[in-house]
């Protein structure tokens, strides 16, 4: 059976058995124009960080949604967040080690024994271990920014008190408060990195954040020795006060909320004291521009904020939540090992000022340089 003779010049010679849609297409009787592909907005412009991609086929099937970005922060923003988090972790080891060159001087000025002064080191370390469990739980409930702000308010108040105190009891209590305010920043810094970085990126960013905590013990005794030698031991606490006030001002103005229980992947605008000053000004300007129109995006944002807020319940922080981690074999072994190393380190470093002063007659500056 021969195939039908189909002319290229017209549709009148098409066979009757040919489906009408194919015949019409060949004859040009039915013109079809494929829908133009949907062009996705730039990364981070879609609501809640969803990536939208247009279908490139001729049918133009519409929008295709992929999974949300883990975080909508840009890489420069992440580096800036890491910088402030690293600066925050700098204060706890700085406050602990800047104190060493003045131990003998404090014992003489307050007229107490060396053993009593050493108790202020012990109390500092105890609260240095307890504070992260409290502030970590607080940050998980209300967000990172409020936890940072509360911690630094306590820290600043303690430093002012330490600079003004004249008796041992005040020194002991205020050192505990100083440790409480500053030590939570270590846990908070790690939490911030978990908020903004995927597991593949996290190691790099954690290294940046830990840089502050690793650097402080090396330079703190030198700073403490210089200040104590030329300006007196009270200048150490005024130095810490000024430095922490500067940090807190920069933090309040520019540090964005990263807590995923507050802003999700940072696509949901923060509210209340979770907002930085920059966030507040941006939100106010946007609200003034859009107050004449009621968009679906605004409704979507409000729903997302309400949904996240409904999951947060403010209650007293429970430090015991972290105890179960010790029961895990691998983590427990690491904690025990690090605890032994840390204990040996402080046993040596706390005795150096007294030995150097008694044996070699070193002053505070010489002790600080050699500690």
pLDDT above 80: residue 321:
no
pLDDT surpasses 50 at 310: yes
What pTM was computed for the model? 0.77
**Mean pLDDT, residues 311-335:** 78
pLDDT at 335 over 70: yes
Alpha helix positions (H), 8-74? 20-27
Q: How many CA atoms lie within 13 A of 276 on its CB side?
A: 19
Residue 22 has what pLDDT?
42
pLDDT of residue 18: 41
What pLDDT shows up at residue 322?
73
> What is the average pLDDT across 158-171?
96
- Unique residue bearing structure tokens 């500067």: 246
Q: Are 123 and 177 in contact (CB under 8 A)?
A: no
CA distance 107 to 208: 38
Give the C-alpha separation, 172 to 224, whole Å: 19
Across 186-190, 269-273, 290-294, 347-351, least confident range: 290-294
Say if residue 24's pLDDT is above 90: no
Bridge partners, residue 17, by sequence: none
Which range among 131-135, 172-176, 304-308, 318-322 has the greatest average pLDDT?
172-176
Helices (H), the chain: 20-27, 75-89, 91-97, 103-110, 114-142, 144-164, 168-196, 199-231, 234-254, 260-263, 277-290, 296-310, 329-355, 364-370
> In terms of pLDDT, which residue wins out, 220 or 303?
220
Q: What is the pLDDT of residue 302?
A: 66
Whether 236 and 99 have beta carbons less than 8 Å apart is answered as yes
Least confident of 151-160, 241-250, 336-345: 336-345
Q: What is the distance between the alpha carbons of residues 368 and 353, in angstroms, rounded to a whole number?
A: 8
Rounded to the nearest 5°, which phi and psi values hold at 229?
-70, -45
Q: Which range (84-98, 229-243, 354-368) has the least confidence?
A: 354-368
Paired tokens of 274: 């979770």
Per-residue b/e over 10-35, b at no fewer than 16 CB within 10 Å? eeeebeeeeeeeebbeeeeeeeeeee
Q: Do the Cβ atoms of 64 and 53 come closer than 8 Å?
A: yes
| Residue that the structure tokens 């303690």 belong to | 158
State pLDDT tens for residues 283-307. 877 766 665 555 556 666 666 666 6
How far apart (Å, rounded) are the C-alpha atoms in residues 265 and 128? 30
Return the percentage of the chain with pLDDT > 90, whole number: 45
- Write down the mean pLDDT value for the chain: 80
């Amino acid at each position: 059976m021969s195939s039908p003779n189909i002319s290229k010049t017209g549709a009148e010679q098409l066979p009757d058995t040919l489906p009408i849609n194919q015949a019409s297409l060949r004859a040009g009787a039915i013109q079809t124009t494929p829908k133009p592909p949907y062009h996705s907005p730039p990364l981070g412009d879609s609501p809640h960080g969803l990536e939208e991609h247009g279908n490139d086929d001729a049918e133009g099937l519409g929008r295709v949604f992929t999974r949300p970005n883990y975080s909508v922060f840009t890489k420069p923003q992440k580096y800036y967040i890491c910088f402030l988090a690293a600066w925050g972790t700098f204060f706890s080891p700085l406050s602990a080690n800047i104190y060493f060159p003045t131990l003998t001087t404090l014992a003489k000025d307050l007229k107490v024994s060396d053993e009593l002064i050493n108790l202020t080191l012990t109390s500092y370390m105890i609260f240095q271990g307890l504070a992260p469990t409290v502030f970590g739980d607080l940050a998980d409930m209300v967000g990172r920014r409020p936890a940072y702000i509360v911690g630094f308010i306590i820290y600043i108040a303690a430093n002012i008190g330490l600079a003004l105190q004249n008796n041992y009891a005040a020194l002991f209590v205020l050192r505990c408060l100083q440790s409480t305010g500053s030590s939570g920043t270590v846990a908070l810094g790690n939490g911030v990195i978990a908020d903004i970085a995927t597991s593949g990126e996290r190691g790099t960013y954690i290294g940046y954040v830990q840089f502050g905590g690793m650097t402080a013990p090396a330079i703190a005794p030198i700073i403490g020795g210089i200040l104590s030698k030329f300006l007196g031991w009270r200048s150490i606490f005024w130095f810490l006060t000024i430095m922490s006030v500067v940090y807190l001002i920069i933090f309040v103005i520019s540090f964005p909320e990263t807590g995923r229980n507050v802003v999700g992947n940072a696509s949901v605008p923060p509210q209340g004291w979770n907002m930085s000053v920059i966030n507040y000004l941006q939100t106010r300007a946007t609200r003034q521009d859009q107050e004449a129109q009621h968009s679906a995006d605004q409704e979507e944002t409000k729903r997302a904020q309400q949904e996240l807020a409904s999951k947060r319940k403010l209650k007293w922080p429970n430090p015991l939540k972290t105890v179960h981690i010790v029961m895990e074999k691998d983590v427990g072994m690491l904690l025990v090992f690090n605890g032994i190393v840390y204990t040996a380190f402080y046993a040596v470093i706390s005795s150096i000022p007294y030995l150097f002063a008694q044996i070699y007659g070193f002053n505070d500056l010489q002790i600080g340089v050699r500690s």
